[in-house]
């Protein structure tokens, strides 16, 4: 009897292990809401700043309003919210103190350290410039001035560079009045560089405040 038990126990254990080894594998299904079917956004870590020299090109976001403002921000500051240039212009979109005060912002330190406020100021300023240039937008969009097809986005970008009043003078002089900023960038350059973006959904406002 003992001999039979000694012989049978190893056989029983072996059969148990084999039964586990040859069980058919169960298919594991991933829930639909967890599947990755398209590219997803990658968020940059908080409190990290990319150095301007590391950026080689602005993000490609098409001809949308987001594409417009990010391309403009890249030209102004390489997209850096916390930068001050040699002339004292502040932030991602390089606003001067005078323009900030027109938008209702009087604390430059708070502005420089608040990315959300900077985005609000940019949007507000675009709405303001669109109001100032409303008649010129109707008159000049689609016209050709010095080989440049005039677009609404080009006008608004140029107004960000040189002020809406100077853009009016440029358009109404048919390009003869083409002022430059302190770094040598002129209105016609911005007219061409930022043409063709869709900014039609921006509602013009007279004297808007943040």
The C-alpha atoms of residue 161 and residue 157 are separated, in whole angstroms, by 6
174-185 tens-digit pLDDT: 999 999 998 999
Residues near 17 by Cβ (< 8 Å), separated by ≥ 6?
A: none
- Assign residue 27 a region (left: φ > 0; alpha: ψ between -120 and 50; beta: otherwise): beta
| Predicted TM-score of the model (pTM) | 0.71
User: Which ranges of the chain have pLDDT less than 50?
Assistant: 17-18, 20-31, 33-57
For residues 65 and 202, the answer to whether their CB atoms sit within 8 Å is yes
Domain ranges of the chain: 63-193
Integer angstrom CA distances of residue 60 from 30, 36, 128? 32, 22, 26
How high is the pLDDT of residue 7? 54
Euclidean distance between the first and final Cα of the chain, in Å? 94
Task: Give Cα separations from 28 to 31, 75, 126, 186 (angstroms).
Answer: 10, 49, 52, 61
Q: Please list the residues that pair with 82 across neighbouring strands.
A: none
Q: Where does 63-193 sit in CATH, by number?
A: 1.10.530.10
Per-residue pLDDT at 24: 45
pLDDT in tens, 141-150: 999 999 999 9
100 vs 107, 109, 165, 177, 183, CA distance in Å? 9, 12, 17, 26, 21
For 25, 75, 122, the CA distances from 68, given in Å and listed in that order, are 53, 11, 12
């Amino acid at each position: 009897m003992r001999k039979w038990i000694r012989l049978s126990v190893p056989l029983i254990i072996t059969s148990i292990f084999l039964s586990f080894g040859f069980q058919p594998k169960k298919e594991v299904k991933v829930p639909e809401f967890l599947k990755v079917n398209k590219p997803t956004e990658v968020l940059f870590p908080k409190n990290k700043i990319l150095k301007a020299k590391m950026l080689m090109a602005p993000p490609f976001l098409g001809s949308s309003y987001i594409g417009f403002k990010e391309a403009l921000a890249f030209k102004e500051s390489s997209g850096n919210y916390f930068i001050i240039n040699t002339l004292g212009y502040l932030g991602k979109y390089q606003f001067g103190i005078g323009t900030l005060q027109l938008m209702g912002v009087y604390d430059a330190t708070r502005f420089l350290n608040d990315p959300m406020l900077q985005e609000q100021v940019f949007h507000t300023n675009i709405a303001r410039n669109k109001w100032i240039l409303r008649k010129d937008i109707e008159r000049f969009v689609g016209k050709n001035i010095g080989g440049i097809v005039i677009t609404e986005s080009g006008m608004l970008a140029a107004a960000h560079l040189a002020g809406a009043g100077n853009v009016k003078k440029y358009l109404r002089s048919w390009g003869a009045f083409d002022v430059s900023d302190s770094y040598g960038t002129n209105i016609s350059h911005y007219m061409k560089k930022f043409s063709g973006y869709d900014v039609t959904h921006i509602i013009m406002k007279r004297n808007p405040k943040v």
